[in-house]
Amino acid sequence: MRTSLLKPCLPLLLMVMAGAISILGYAPFYLYPLPIISLTTLFYYIQKSDSATKAAWLGFSFGLGFFCAGVSWIYISLHDFGGMPFAMAAFATFAFCAFLSLFTAAVGFISKKLPHPAIALPILWVVAEWIRSWIFTGFPWLNVGYSQIPYSPLAGFAPALGVYGVSLLTALVASLILLFLDTQTRKKTAIALTTLFISGISLQYVTWSKPEGDKFSVALLQGNIAQDMKWDAAEVQRTLDKYYALVTASNASIIVMPETAFPMLVTQLPEAYIAALKAHAVKNQGDIIIGAVEYENEQYYNSMLSIGSAETQVYRKSHLVPFGEFIPLKSVFGWIYRDWLNIPLTDLARGDIHQQPIQISGKKAALNICYEDVFGEEIIRQLPQAGILINASNDAWYGESLASYQHLQMSQMRALETGRMMLRATNTGATAVIGVDGKVISQLPHFETGVLEESVQSYSGTTPYVRFGNWPVLLIMLSTLGLLWVRKKK
């Protein structure tokens, strides 16, 4: 009797395991074949299921294992640093993962309503990723295309098709593997898989952008300020002293600080302190980019400001994190912050989405702050004018979890998509310099104070992704789904 009751649950448990194991395909593990194997398993069980409802449960179970293993670090920000009680934080994290799993459930359900599951499943998977990237301001974390960066042959498609194109090809490989197991289609499938991987490898040798001007020196600062001490008034002077020491230890022409390196308003920084930083930058014939909070017209902004040889320029974060930097539907959710959470700066204003690159040390740099670099379609707004990408982040909110490594991998995708080097200055890691091939050139150890100095290169040129964004892949997917739907109706 017990065996008969457990039997229907076994495929669901297997899906939970397959979803969880696929996280090993992402940074810091980079075992990129694992997500393909996991998707192959999911697609197999969905195709074998005899109803849309069962397929939806399979998709939901896979998503639950996938997201609980991959983004459970949200609990750390809510409980360890936000002060939310254990039970409440655990429930909120699980509820969020369950919500994300509804997208994978929809993949299973809708696929049973369409013909040709070998085509429908990969497309539905990526359409679900795309919808997840913009609904409720978006959460495109762990799109399967990221797992292929930078070592998989499929990474070669990133400059042409972007992350959703790589996701589509990754899911397609999983579908082709299932077809390969069918002896009637084995030869054709083998040819298709071989062609796909050879094409990806070949594309890695295409020069999408070219060096512009001479190399120049950069210094990326990692202050390693503990998150639970960052906004403590007693630590302010110590923070100022630490960053002054890090700045003056470098002779680089561009020095970059992390996001909100200074836990105060820009106007509250001592004039003598700013003057000393500027003097050091001028001596280096360069500029310093500082992270701080601006206050203007009764609004607060998460900003990056340049000081030094060039005229002061400002970049303001435009894509804010819901519940972290602003409270959506404050009348509905405001009580959570009043009664359960202690998170500073939850009422920030958005910067203009059409901000242009800043010009420092004779180079044009596209700035982005923290979470913004997980949206490739937003990064390319400042291209092809910018010759280099600079990201300032503070992933200390997530402790010693996988979050900062996963975030680094998304920056690696942005470098590949744009044909630009990516410079990342973070509070606790991952502070790194990423090459145009998406590979990390140099990196500081996590949770250590330090300065990462590197000679870097500005680039010019336009990749297909910079020119067209996500539209080619979206049009292909949506038109194909439309054709499948019409065929089913006929």
Under 8 Å between Cβ of 137 and 353: no
More confident residue, 226 or 259: 259
Predicted confidence at residue 182, as pLDDT, reads 79
Helix (H), strand (E), coil (C) string for 206-242: CCCCEEEEEEEEEEEEECCCCHHHHCCHHHHHHHHHH
The letter for the amino acid at 116 is H
| Rounded CA separation 487/195 (Å) | 28
**336: confidence class by pLDDT, cuts 50, 70, 90:** low
Mean pLDDT throughout 322-338? 64
Structure confidence by residue, pLDDT tens digits, 48-87? 999 999 999 999 999 999 999 999 999 998 888 777 888 9
What value does the mean pLDDT of the chain take?
92
Mean pLDDT throughout 110-125? 95
The 440-443 sheet, strands edge to edge: 358-360, 363-369, 388-393, 422-426, 432-434, 440-443
Under 8 Å between Cβ of 243 and 225: no
Structure confidence by residue, pLDDT tens digits, 449-468? 999 999 999 999 999 999 99
Question: Can you list the alpha helix ranges (DSSP code H) found in 287-382?
Answer: 330-339, 376-379
Q: Of 74-88, 99-113, 239-253, which gets the smallest average pLDDT? A: 74-88
**Closest-CA residue to 232 (of 76, 342, 75):** 342
Q: Of 381-385, 420-424, 484-488, which gets the smallest average pLDDT? A: 484-488
**406: confidence class by pLDDT, cuts 50, 70, 90:** very high
Under 8 Å between Cβ of 444 and 407: no
**330: confidence class by pLDDT, cuts 50, 70, 90:** low
pTM of the predicted model as reported, rounded to 2 decimal places: 0.94
Mean pLDDT throughout 126-145? 96
Q: Of 39-48, 81-90, 142-151, 391-400, which gets the smallest average pLDDT? A: 81-90
More confident residue, 297 or 232: 297
Considering the candidates 112, 129, 294, 370, report the single residue annotated as catalytic: 370
Residue 11's CB: how many other CB atoms inside 10 A? Answer: 17
Query: Is the pLDDT assigned to residue 443 strictly greater than 90?
Result: yes
User: Is 215 known to be catalytic?
Assistant: no
Structure confidence by residue, pLDDT tens digits, 258-268? 999 998 889 99
User: Is 188 known to be catalytic?
Assistant: no
User: How many H-runs (helices) and E-runs (strands) does the chain carry?
Assistant: 17, 12
Q: Of 237-246, 264-273, 393-402, 481-490, which gets the smallest average pLDDT? A: 481-490
| Rounded CA separation 488/117 (Å) | 12
Query: Is the pLDDT assigned to residue 338 strictly greater than 80?
Result: no
Mean pLDDT throughout 432-457? 97
Looking at the chain, the whole-number percentage of residues with pLDDT higher than 70 is 94
Q: Could you give the residue range(s) of every CATH 3.60.110.10 domain in the chain?
A: 210-462
The letter for the amino acid at 51 is S
Predicted confidence at residue 191, as pLDDT, reads 94
Q: What share of the chain is helix, strand, coil (3-state, %, to 5)?
A: 55, 15, 30
User: Tokens 């002293």 appear where?
Assistant: 241
**204: confidence class by pLDDT, cuts 50, 70, 90:** very high
Query: Is the pLDDT assigned to residue 96 strictly greater than 60?
Result: yes
Looking at the chain, the whole-number percentage of residues with pLDDT higher than 90 is 79
Is the bond preceding residue 155 a cis peptide, omega within 30 degrees? Answer: no
The letter for the amino acid at 19 is G
Query: Is the pLDDT assigned to residue 346 strictly greater than 80?
Result: no
The letter for the amino acid at 97 is C
Three-class SS of residue 116?
Answer: coil
**Closest-CA residue to 444 (of 417, 419, 415, 423):** 423
Q: Give the torsion through C-alpha atoms of 121, 124, 126, 130, to 10 deg.
A: -170
How far, CA to CA in Å, does 114 sit from each of 109, 117, 481, 482, 485?
A: 10, 7, 8, 10, 6
How far, CA to CA in Å, does 212 sit from each of 358, 420, 464?
A: 16, 11, 19
* Residue 484, both tokens: 């499948």
Burial class (CB in 10 A: 0-12, 13-18, 19+), 401: middle
| Rounded CA separation 109/124 (Å) | 10
CA angle (366 as vertex; 365, 372 as ends), nearest 5: 150
User: Is 9 known to be catalytic?
Assistant: no
* Residue 126, both tokens: 């990526």
**235: confidence class by pLDDT, cuts 50, 70, 90:** confident
Predicted confidence at residue 227, as pLDDT, reads 78
* Residue 190, both tokens: 């083998």
Predicted confidence at residue 232, as pLDDT, reads 73
| Rounded CA separation 457/224 (Å) | 27
**273: confidence class by pLDDT, cuts 50, 70, 90:** very high
More confident residue, 329 or 189: 189
Considering the candidates 97, 112, 259, 417, report the single residue annotated as catalytic: 259
Phi, psi of 399 (to 5 degrees): 60, -150
**209: confidence class by pLDDT, cuts 50, 70, 90:** very high
* Residue 64, both tokens: 């639950």
The DSSP-derived string for 361-391 is TTEEEEEEEGGGGG-HHHHGGGTTT-SEEEE
| Rounded CA separation 104/364 (Å) | 40
Considering the candidates 54, 112, 230, 317, report the single residue annotated as catalytic: 317
Query: Is the pLDDT assigned to residue 323 strictly greater than 90?
Result: no
**Closest-CA residue to 413 (of 204, 145, 209, 181):** 145
Query: Is the pLDDT assigned to residue 2 strictly greater than 70?
Result: no
Bridge partners of 442?
433
* Residue 152, both tokens: 């998989």
Under 8 Å between Cβ of 440 and 416: no
210-462 maps to which CATH number?
3.60.110.10
Three-class SS of residue 42?
Answer: helix
Query: Is the pLDDT assigned to residue 171 strictly greater than 90?
Result: yes
